């Protein structure tokens, strides 16, 4: 009888424990925040993509407890910076604490409030980015994608978490706003002519797209 491990569990067990990220998860739990940080395997992918793309300016939408922020910061060069947008002050405070404990305090700037307001402000300031990680309210994913394309340097990478929404996105009987908008986002990541996309079905689904240079 084969052990009933998922493919993700089998592969995840091959890695050494990551004490920094384990502490982040403990902090999230201790503060009664939702335990929905990005999957460990995708966290490693974030670090690798920042590193191999040479991204200097990274934008994250949705900080939660700082787990993905640390993964992104780990891949940045010496002069690289992460801007992290978070709706809730208490989440941003915990994320900042975790980022400081991980040694990346000087690399991360938090902006608190509605992400759509922060995106507008970043545009007004002329800020542009090499990589985006979208992991916030699912009903706004198509809006966040449009902003990411607007704020992208040519060739920038755009990533989005939770394409599958625990399987809801694949169930045609699910017709709620968040699921509908997530399907719209996923389709754009696959087919928008401005993008070159890849969709990964592991964990809860991750989209990666490169903004075409034209
Ligand atoms: C859930 C997971 C996420 O990664 C997220 O961003 C939002 C919700 C969830 O499993 O409910
Ligand atoms: Mg997520």
**Ramachandran angles phi, psi of 44, nearest 5°:** -65, -35
Model confidence at 1: pLDDT above 70? no
DSSP code of 29?
H
Model confidence at 146: pLDDT above 70? yes
Q: Ligand 1 atom closest to Cα of 64?
A: 6
Distance CA 177, CA 140 (A): 10
* Residue bearing tokens 């200097």: 56
Q: Residue 3 has what pLDDT?
A: 72
Is 102 within 8 Å of 142 (Cβ atoms)?
no
Name the closest-CA residue to atom 9, ligand 1.
36
Is 136 within 8 Å of 63 (Cβ atoms)?
no
60 lines ligand 1 (CB under 6 A): no
Q: Residue 64 has what pLDDT?
A: 97
Model confidence at 2: pLDDT above 70? no
Predicted confidence band at 20 (pLDDT cuts at 50, 70, 90)? Answer: very high
DSSP code of 32?
T
130 lines ligand 1 (CB under 6 A): no
Q: Residue 214 has what pLDDT?
A: 73
Mean pLDDT for 84-113 is: 98
- Counting residues of the chain whose pLDDT is more than 90, the rounded percentage is 98
| C-alpha 54 to ligand 2 mean position (Å) | 24
DSSP code of 56?
S
Question: Could you tell me the sign of the dihedral formed by the alpha carbons of 101, 121, 88, 181, in that order?
Answer: negative
Burial state string for 92-114 with b = 16 or more CB within 10 A and e = fewer than 16: bebbbebbeebebeebbebbbee
Model confidence at 99: pLDDT above 80? yes
Strands 81-86 and 108-112, how do they pair?
parallel
């Amino acid at each position: 009888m084969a052990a009933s491990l998922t493919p993700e569990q089998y592969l995840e067990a091959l890695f050494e424990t990551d004490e920094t990220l384990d502490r982040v998860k403990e902090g999230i739990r201790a503060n009664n925040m939702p335990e929905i940080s990005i999957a460990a395997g995708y966290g490693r992918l974030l670090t690798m993509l920042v590193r191999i793309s040479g991204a200097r300016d990274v934008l994250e939408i949705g900080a939660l407890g700082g787990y993905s922020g640390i993964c992104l910061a780990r891949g940045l060069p010496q002069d690289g910076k992460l801007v992290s947008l978070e709706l809730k002050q208490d989440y941003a405070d915990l994320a900042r604490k975790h980022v400081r404990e991980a040694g990346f305090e000087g690399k991360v700037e938090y902006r608190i409030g509605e992400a759509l307001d922060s995106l507008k402000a970043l545009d007004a300031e002329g800020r542009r980015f090499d990589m985006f990680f979208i992991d916030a309210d699912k009903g706004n994913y198509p809006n966040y994608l449009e902003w990411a394309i607007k704020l992208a340097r040519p060739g920038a990478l755009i990533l989005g978490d939770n394409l599958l929404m625990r399987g809801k996105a694949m169930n045609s009987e699910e017709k709620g706003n968040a699921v509908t908008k997530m399907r719209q986002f996923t389709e754009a990541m696959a087919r928008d002519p401005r993008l070159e996309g890849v969709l990964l079905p592991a964990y809860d689904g991750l989209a990666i797209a490169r903004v075409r240079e034209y």
